[in-house]
Structure 1
Amino acid sequence: MSVVKGLIQSEDNGTISFGDYNLEEKSKLSDFGHKGDLYKVKTFKEITKLEKNGSFVYESVPGTAVNDFEITDEGMSFKVEGTGDAQITVELEGDTEYTVFIDDMNAGKMKTNLAGKLMFSVELDNNEPSPVKIVKNQL
């Protein structure tokens, strides 16, 4: 795993990868097509942000690299790496409870706000990828 040199790319498994936390200056790429959607990525050492069809999807402070990013009806999953701990915000379904797994460990149940934003921190260790899985809780 490593930074995504082209800023964003489609993977053979149907997911996308994006972000380069090594960049000193902000870089962006718009109108990247994947499965009928258009993505926009902004990334550098201080922040990484992803939008899908003009709507917010992912943001990390500081910047990160994200691999195998996938959104499903049940939630989302990805692998994230960076040079230090990251505060991550994602957008899911509004006012909904999810269980967050980081490094295959249950980090607890969290509820999105009305806009669907969910915030959590990931302790990143020396550029090693940390798997994140966010699963919608069934009522």
Structure 2
Amino acid sequence: MAIVEEGIIKENDGTLSFGDYKREDKLKVENFESEGDIYKVRTHKDVTRLSKNSGLLLETVPGATVHSLKVESKLTSFDIEGNGSTQITIELENDSNYAIYVDDVEIGHIKSNFSGKVSFSVELSENSQHVAVKKL
């Protein structure tokens, strides 16, 4: 997979891809519309952040490239690539339990906080990994 030089794109299947973890300078794309929602992305080597309708959707530290982001009521999934140990924060439903899978291997369970955020770390490389967060 490749970085998303445009900052954010809509794939043919309706999913979103975004981020450029190799970028030295900051790239910001605002007012990207998809299916009635407004997205904003900020990306560079240190952080990649995607907001939906002014609220956090997904953030990585350091920056990463996310492909085929799909958000459903009980499942959020995407492919991700980057450099080294990366913290991923996703805003989901508050006070709920989730199972985290990386390449179809369960790496643990986590409970979202009062604002619905969950954070976990993944060791990334240029070879993408599939991440799935399933509501229990």
* Structure-1 residue corresponding to 2:129: 130
Partner SS for 1:113? coil
Distance in 1 separating the partners of 2:128 and 2:49: 18
* Structure-1 residue corresponding to 2:109: 109
Distance in 2 separating the partners of 1:63 and 1:40: 15
Shift of 1:84: 1.6
Partner SS for 1:123? strand
The answer to whether the Cα contact below 8 Å between 1:75 and 1:92 also exists between their aligned partners in 2 is no
Amino acid at match of 2:45: K
Shift of 1:14: 1.1
* Structure-2 residue corresponding to 1:38: 38
Shift of 1:2: 1.1
Amino acid at match of 1:24: E
Distance in 2 separating the partners of 1:104 and 1:67: 16
* Structure-1 residue corresponding to 2:49: 49
* Structure-2 residue corresponding to 1:18: 18
Structure 1 residue runs of 4 or more that deviate by more than 2 Å after TM superposition: none
Query: Could you report, residue by residue, the CA deviation over 1:10-43 in whole angstroms, capped at 9, with x for unpaired residues?
Result: 0011100000011101110000011111100000
Are residue 84 (structure 1) and residue 84 (structure 2) matched?
yes
- Structure 2: unaligned runs, 5 residues or longer: none
Partner SS for 1:85? strand
Shift of 1:74: 0.6
Shift of 1:87: 0.6
Partner SS for 2:20? coil
Query: Could you report, residue by residue, the CA deviation over 1:96-138 in whole angstroms, capped at 9, with x for unpaired residues?
Result: 001110121001111000100100001113x11010000100x
The answer to whether the Cα contact below 8 Å between 1:96 and 1:111 also exists between their aligned partners in 2 is yes
- Structure 1: unaligned runs, 5 residues or longer: none
* Structure-1 residue corresponding to 2:95: 95
Distance in 2 separating the partners of 1:30 and 1:84: 28
Distance in 2 separating the partners of 1:6 and 1:92: 26
Shift of 1:75: 2.5
* Structure-2 residue corresponding to 1:58: 58
CA RMSD of aligned residues (A): 0.7
Distance in 2 separating the partners of 1:128 and 1:67: 12
Percent identical among aligned pairs is 43
| TM-score of the two chains, using structure 2 as the length reference | 0.98
Amino acid at match of 1:85: S
